[in-house]
Structure 1
Amino acid sequence: MFSVELRSEISGNTLSGYAAVFGAYADFGSYLETLAPTAFDAALADPANDVRAYYQHDSSMLLARQSSGTLRLRTDSTGLHFDLHIPDTSYGHDLRELVRRGDLSGMSFGFIAGQEDWGRTPDGRELRTHTSVARLVEVSPVTAPAYSATSVQLRSLADIPLPATDGRTQLIRARARVNLPKGQ
């Protein structure tokens, strides 16, 4: 009889959050921009639309792709929600660490504009509201998002609720006693 100690560190393999938040504003200097709750409906319903996730909008740093199942997108009452499986690449490891530390916490998206309305904010600034984007091209974790209400966080074991922690990486320790038949 002998003891085996198994250790596993949960470091997270999935990023999730909101690439866009409905009703939030992006300030482009001469005008503000916002997204209506209908903004992504047509783009997400189009089976030919294969959205990709890039790191910092850089297409040479592909993170995930909708057609491969490594990127999942959906809308809810808050905005455009995403889940992406982080690749085992050098920039994937860098991204994981930056998100884990809280240095990178925002998202952005690339799109081709579709229907929009123009109006004014209560203080008189011009306001562009995207009611429907023609095509959603990509979503990206970025260091300086135009829409500050976006979010990205690292998670693992998404379907299993974990107890609250103090924010540090959890260390799981398992001990097992193994009884082997004689001679082995």
Structure 2
Amino acid sequence: MKKQNEKEIRNIGDITSANNESRKVEGYALVFNTESEDLGFYETISQSAINEETIRKSDVMCLLDHSKNRGILARSRYGKGSLKLSIDEKGLKYEFDAPRTSLGDELLEMLRRGDINQSSFAFSVATDGDKWEKRDNKYYRTITKIERLFDVSPVYTPAYTSTSVGCRNFDDFKKKIEYIEQLEKEIQDLNFEIK
């Protein structure tokens, strides 16, 4: 079972290509303070979760559909390279010129046709870099610190997928909440019997 600080993948942002003549591709790999779809829990990434230091300590590839097997579209090695990453009030933005390769041409064609219009990113959460809570019988996770970025990816099918680290953290949190709720119930039962 994986531990915190291991890779997770989320599909969040939009992606665009400027026009039919341009090879420039840009999009948001992640958007701050936006609640995810149901992952078994709901997730939000705080604006303070990522900064320039995160980019400078990450080797980030731009992949098509998270697949290294097909090659890379662009790369930011510790903040430098063909993939430009920037942080603004909305989220983590990425930009690159699609390479003059079959993969670059495929991406541009799929963008122009509208077959691809969303982005995704792979990341790891820092130790103590998330907070869990339960409200109205639903579980919520707020990511407060991303340790590293692994890739940003234009994706065909937006499906929120997480590795077992998210599930393990969620399961641990859920077990604690269930234990506390059971204790509270037992205390209430004892109080009722005493009266």
TM-score normalised by the chain length of structure 1: 0.67
Aligned equivalent of 1:33, options 8, 33, 43: 43
2:192 corresponds to? none
- The Cα of 1:145 is off from its aligned counterpart by 2.7
Q: Deviations over 1:101-135 (max 9, x none)?
A: 211000000111120111245x5421111111111
Cα distance in 1 between the residues matched to 2:72 and 2:23: 15
The equivalent residue for 2:102 is 90
Contact 2:58 2:148 in 1 (8 A): yes
Across the two proteins, how many residue pairs are aligned to each other? Answer: 136
| Residue 133 (str. 1) matches residue 146 (str. 2) | yes
Alignment of 1:69-84 (within 5 A): 69-84=81-96
Report the residue type matching 2:107 in the other structure. L
Task: Give unmatched runs, 5+ long, in structure 2.
Answer: 1-18, 161-195
Q: How does 1:1-184 map to 2 (within 5 A)?
A: 11-41=21-51, 42-44=53-55, 47-60=56-69, 61-67=71-77, 69-114=81-126, 115-120=129-134, 123-146=136-159
How far apart, in 2, do the equivalents of 1:29 and 1:51 lie? 24
Over the aligned positions, Cα root-mean-square deviation in angstroms equals 1.9
Aligned-residue offset at 1:95: 0.6
- In structure 2, give the amino acid aligned to 1:57: H
User: What CA distance in whole angstroms lies between the structure 2 residues aligned with 1:49 and 1:128?
Assistant: 23
Percent of aligned pairs with the same residue?
35
Structure number with bigger Rg = 1
Residue 146 of structure 1 and its aligned partner are, at CA, apart by 4.5
Structure number having the greater strand percentage? 1
Q: Which runs of 4+ in 1 moved over 6 A?
A: none
TM-score, structure 2 as length reference: 0.64
CA contact (8 A) 2:86 2:93 kept: yes
Q: Distance in 2 between matches of 1:22 and 1:51?
A: 19
Q: Report what 1:165 is aligned to.
A: none
Higher helix fraction (1 or 2): 2
Q: Deviations over 1:47-87 (max 9, x none)?
A: 34221111100012201011362101111111111101211
The 1:141–1:50 alpha-carbon spacing in structure 2 relative to 1, beyond 3 Å, is: same
Distance apart, 1:29 and its partner CA: 3.5
